């Protein structure tokens, strides 16, 4: 038998247990699944002016559908896609009797925000930021992230060495 103290003999085992318990599941190695479904408030700045449209999005896998509403460009149904953190969507708009395609391309920053660029039919370009509108969820009942912890009792640990 070795003359190592119980703490010295247990340290490698405790470290190994901690590494196993704290390591994320294999699927967590991938980026967290993005879901932009919901109502968003956009802040748009372009060379043709600014606005604060409301966009309602519905995501089905990578497919994106929804509705755009603003004082400047009116109401329109939209289509697009979400690929990883990249988002893009477009719709047809009309201004001063001329129809044109409006295209938004950007990045989902986190579950409640995104930012990117907007193109108004090649006639004006700009940037946007967007924030998900609150769904009225009580913060106290919101899902909390999983935080692993390790509890080890040395009283029941048996180590044998030769």
Q: What is the mean pLDDT of the chain?
A: 80
pLDDT at residue 158 greater than cutoff 60: no
Q: How far is Cα 153 from Cα 50, in angstroms, rounded to an integer?
A: 62
pLDDT at residue 3 greater than cutoff 50: yes
Looking at residue 138, what is its pLDDT?
Answer: 44
Q: pTM for the whole thing? A: 0.66
**Selection from 22-26, 48-52, 89-93 with the highest mean pLDDT:** 89-93
| Burial category of 35 from C-beta neighbours within 10 Å (exposed 0-12, middle 13-18, buried 19 and up) | exposed
Range 38-133 classified under CATH 3.40.640.10: no
Average pLDDT over residues 44-54: 94
Span 101-157, pLDDT tens digits: 999 999 999 999 999 999 999 999 999 999 999 876 444 434 444 445 445 555 555
The tokens describing 96, both together, are 């001063």
Average pLDDT over residues 46-68: 96
Query: What percent of the chain is modeled with pLDDT above 90?
Result: 57
Contacts of 113 by beta carbon, 8 Å cutoff, 6+ apart? 129, 130, 131, 132
Residue with tokens 């893009």: 88
For 121, phi then psi, to 5°, come to 60, 25
The tokens describing 73, both together, are 């460009």
pLDDT class of 15 with cuts at 50, 70, 90: low
Between 21 and 86, residue with greater pLDDT: 86
């Amino acid at each position: 038998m070795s003359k190592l103290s119980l703490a010295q003999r247990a340290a490698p085992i405790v470290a190994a247990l901690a590494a196993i318990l704290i390591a994320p599941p294999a699927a967590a190695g991938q980026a967290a699944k993005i879901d932009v479904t919901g109502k968003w408030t956009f802040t748009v700045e372009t060379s043709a002016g600014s606005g604060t449209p409301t966009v309602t999005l519905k995501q089905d896998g990578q497919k994106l559908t929804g509705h755009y509403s603003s004082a400047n460009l009116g109401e329109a149904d939209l289509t697009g896609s979400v690929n990883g953190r990249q988002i893009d969507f477009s719709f047809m708009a009309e201004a001063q009797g001329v129809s044109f395609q409006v295209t938004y391309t950007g990045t989902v920053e986190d579950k409640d925000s995104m930012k990117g660029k907007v193109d108004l039919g090649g006639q004006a370009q700009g940037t946007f930021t967007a924030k998900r509108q609150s769904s009225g969820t009580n913060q106290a009942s919101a899902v909390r992230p999983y935080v692993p912890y390790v509890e080890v009792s040395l009283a029941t640990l048996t180590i044998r060495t030769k």
